[in-house]
Structure 1
Amino acid sequence: MTTITTHEAKTHLSRYLAEVEQGKEYIIARGKHAVAMLVPVPAEQKKARPKVGETLDPPFDIPDSAFAPLTEEELKEWGL
């Protein structure tokens, strides 16, 4: 890793950014003390968007009992 001063970083920032894009890393120092690192950002991995109508979750079955009529007791519980 190459060490550069804050003055160099400000003066030649575009050049350093181009080199960082190619994988190079820099330490930026104020005087003799390192204060920052200029490193490439990891590439963002885009998630594929689902197509219209495509389900994201696994399918599930609705049992036939879900469509059965309510019993008299259940109707009373619901106040019907």
Structure 2
Amino acid sequence: MATVSVHEAKTHLSRLIERVLAGEEVIVARNREPVIKLVPATPAPSTRRAGRLKGKINIDDRFFEPLPDDELAAWNCED
């Protein structure tokens, strides 16, 4: 864990960012008192949109046909 002054953080921000992205924890101190910790930002979760896959997925017509009795019984755990 590295501790740097506010002045050093302002002067060498790019280097500190590289260190943080490499996995190092960096603390910024004011008057030798820790005030913040630099950490990597987490990526924003992707948003889901209705219809995004329209036209990209094809479902065979057989999908909608009724299952044979023996297969239906197997899915229902029947003998």
Q: Give the shorter-chain TM-score range.
A: 0.5 to 0.7
The RMSD of aligned alpha carbons is 2.3
The whole-number CA distance in structure 1 between the counterparts of 2:41 and 2:27 is: 15
Q: Structure 2, unaligned stretches of length 5 or more?
A: 58-79
Shift of 1:47: 5.5
Q: 1:20-49: CA deviations, max 9, x gaps?
A: 112211110001211111111224453565
Q: Structure 1, unaligned stretches of length 5 or more?
A: 55-80
TM-score (normalizing by structure 1)? 0.54
Query: Does structure 1 residue 18 correspond to structure 2 residue 23?
Result: no
TM-score (normalizing by structure 2)? 0.55
The whole-number CA distance in structure 1 between the counterparts of 2:18 and 2:44 is: 18
Q: Which residue of 2 aligns with 1:52?
A: 54
The whole-number CA distance in structure 2 between the counterparts of 1:20 and 1:6 is: 16
Paired-residue identity, %: 43
The AA in structure 2 aligned to 1:46 is S
